[in-house]
Structure 1
């Protein structure tokens, strides 16, 4: 069962799923920048057209990975989902350290400074993994927060967490553990964007009791941290490996030709791990103070899947990658 923004949907009705997209995406604080113009009706129409194109190509569901703080708008997503006839599964989670607000990070920095100065007075409040887990859990049971300190009736359907290019910091590990706690309690998938550090962070997640089959290791086609041995090792432990920057072939640091992604998928299928791979484009439909992507989510089905087929990936394997794997990710374990 998947929790979409418009309610529960049986996993066997998800159909083809794009496993990592950003319908709206902005860095925390974007709404305070007067230079950012968010023309809601215009953006809605543009995203509706993109989702209808995805649906016409065979798509049926989409996992929105903007998390708690990076532009997510629950009521906007609800209306968009209903208009497009696409299941939208929203996410909650804090992201890498540079995306975590000072509300969480400052008390830790203050504590470290006081310890260095041997100041015996601790900060009044210090977050921990349990607090973050409870906060994220409420987004899945009570609804996702919106502006004005109110909650939408729409609930998040999966949790995300991440670390930056360096080994995970204290606040990142705290957020990762909290995300794992929330995912386990609410029996939903967790998406980790850990790059080269994913193999070390994966046990941190499973140590909180979350089944490996609920974990997605994202950005495994990021050109800065390609590692086929890592992908096979994580897949062998039961995690899903996501090649989710399909179509990013420009000058972005993470970009590379789709031909390389085709080879990644072929190699995983040949190694016997077709059942552990997810695919998506990682598009930014509307950039809130950041650039939107030049391609849409339909690129996955209109361009990349034909490339896979032409490279010898059979119809059965394609069905596994696009339908069966996402279904299994959300199925009751």
Structure 2
């Protein structure tokens, strides 16, 4: 891994963990079980990719060279949403997994009922955190709308976006055991995984623009669209590589049960295209993502390096 990426991942994870430590109830807060379950999953060793992407997008469009104050709270909220989705994804009714990030899943450690409630509580706390961001009211509302659409089912008034994370999860469940098609796999990946990665980047951009007094409305709209394109491309590449790793790495290397997708006959990119073509597609998507950020020049270097890491990682 390139030293620049190592530094970004380390410093971003530290900033996110500090914010999470401050925002999450302590393990001694009553009722103990729910708060300990929340912390068990949140602090189970995740790479914090989504909050790091949010903070780096905010840094890029803010144009000051620094991550804007409060952006770590935005990242922490996104990580809460990601963790809630993992807790529920691992439940017996869904993927029925007992290992996550190399540790027992939440329902294994605390029981199914508490795990469900821990996921619910993390989702609620995430939106509470977003509502309290130190940003102008219009920016806060825009971020709340962006994130809500990304984690939902794709319904709502005047929604211009495709189905979000929950919608993608539903399609994924209902497609198990069926012959996967290219259209089906892409729709699941863009919704179930790609939507939250995209909204991390777009929300970070919205937050950063609010701190940039020189940003003009038209320029801001163009910047957000470029970030959305970048996020959609990078998010799909991320999930394609995840599919490949599930087929090629061990459980110890992945930190979760390997081979689950194949065993469940899930709709994955390699199931349609094979491993070699999948890796090539991921690289091409990252190249397209880079093109979207070209107008940002050198300021886009951190985001580009993170996107390249998404397709080169081994776990």
Q: Which has the higher strand share?
A: 1
Q: Which has the higher contact order (CA 8 A, sep 6+)?
A: 1
In the superposition, the TM-score normalised over structure 1's length comes to 0.28
Q: Which has the higher helix share?
A: 2
In the superposition, the TM-score normalised over structure 2's length comes to 0.29
